[in-house]
A and B are shown apart, each in its own frame.
Chain A
Amino acid sequence: MRAAWSIFTVLLSTVLVFTAIQSLPGDTASRILGQNATPEAVATVRLQLGLDEPALSRFLSWLGGAAHGDFGTSLVSGRSVGEEVGGALVNTLLLASITIAIGVTIALVLGMVSGLMRDKKPDVIISTLALIGMSIPEFVVATLLVLVFSIYIPLFPAVVLAGQEATIAELLPSVWLPAAALICVLSAYVIRMMRTSVIDVAESEYVRTAVLKGNSTARIVFKHVLPSAMPPTLNVIAMNIAWLIGGVVVVESIFNYPGIGTLMIRSVQTQDLPTILLITVLSAFTFVICNLLADLGAFMLNPRLRYPRSAV
Chain B
Amino acid sequence: MAGLPDTQNFGFSRRQMLVGGALAMFVPALLSGCATAADPNTIGAPREGAAKAGGTLRIARPPASASETLDPASSLCAYEYLGALYSRLVSLSPTGELVPDLAESWDQSADAMTWTFNLRSDVGWHDGSSFTANDVVYTIQHILDEATASPQAGVLSPFVDGNAITAPTMHTVVFQLTSPNAEFASLLAGYNCYIIPAGSAGTITTSGIGTGPFKLASFSPAGPGAVVRNEAYFGQAPVLDAIEFSSIADTQGRVNALLADQVDFIAQTNLDFATASTVLASSLATVSSVKNAQWYPVPMLNSSAEFSEPDIRRALCHAYDPELVAKLATQGNSTIAHNNPVPPSEAYYLDYGLEYDPDKSKSLLKGQGLSSLDLSIYTSTYDPLLTPTALALQGSMKDANINLTVENASADSYYTDVWMKKPLMTTYWYTGRPIDQLLNQIFRSGSSYNETAYSNPVFDQTLDAARATVDQAQRKTLYQDAQKILIDDGGSLTPFFADRLTGLSSKVTNYSENGFEFDYINIGFGES
Contact = CB atoms under 8 A, between A and B. Distances in A.
Interface of A: 26, 31-37, 74, 76-79, 84, 146, 150-151, 154, 157-159, 161-166, 253-256, 258, 262, 265-266, 269-270
Interface stretch (B82-90, B207-215, B255-263, B509-517): B255-263
Given A36-B448, A253-B249, A151 B9 contact: no
A271 to B, nearest CB: 8
B65 A76 contact: yes
Interface residues of B, number: 42
Contacts of A157: 257, 260, 262
Given A34-B10, A269-B413, A161 B263 contact: yes
Contacts of B4: 265-266, 269
Contacts of B256: 146, 150-151, 158-159
A204 B142 CA distance: 79
Interface of B: 1, 4-5, 7-12, 58, 60, 65-67, 220-224, 246-250, 252-254, 256-257, 259-263, 282, 410, 412-413, 416-417, 420, 448
A253 B223 CA distance: 14
Contacts of B253: 158-159, 253-256
A253 B412 CA distance: 14
Complex A-B, nearest 4 residue pairs according to Cβ-Cβ distance, in ascending order: A34-B11, A163-B223, A158-B260, A161-B246
Chain B facing A: main interface SS: loop
A253 B254 CA distance: 12
B5 A31 contact: no
A262 B249 CA distance: 9
A35 B413 CA distance: 12
A76 B224 contact: no
Given A32-B8, A76-B66, A266-B5, A151 B259 contact: yes
13 contacts: A26-B417, A76-B8, A78-B67, A151-B282, A158-B256, A158-B259, A159-B260, A161-B257, A163-B222, A253-B253, A266-B4, A266-B5, A270-B413
A158 B262 contact: yes
Contacts of A154: 260-261
B250 A151 contact: no
A292 B261 CA distance: 44
A35 B448 contact: yes
Contact of B9 (A32, A163, A265): A32
Given A36-B12, A158-B262, A159-B253, A76 B448 contact: no
A161 B5 contact: no
Nearest to B221: A77
Given A35-B448, A158-B253, A163-B222, A151 B11 contact: no
B61 to A, nearest CB: 11
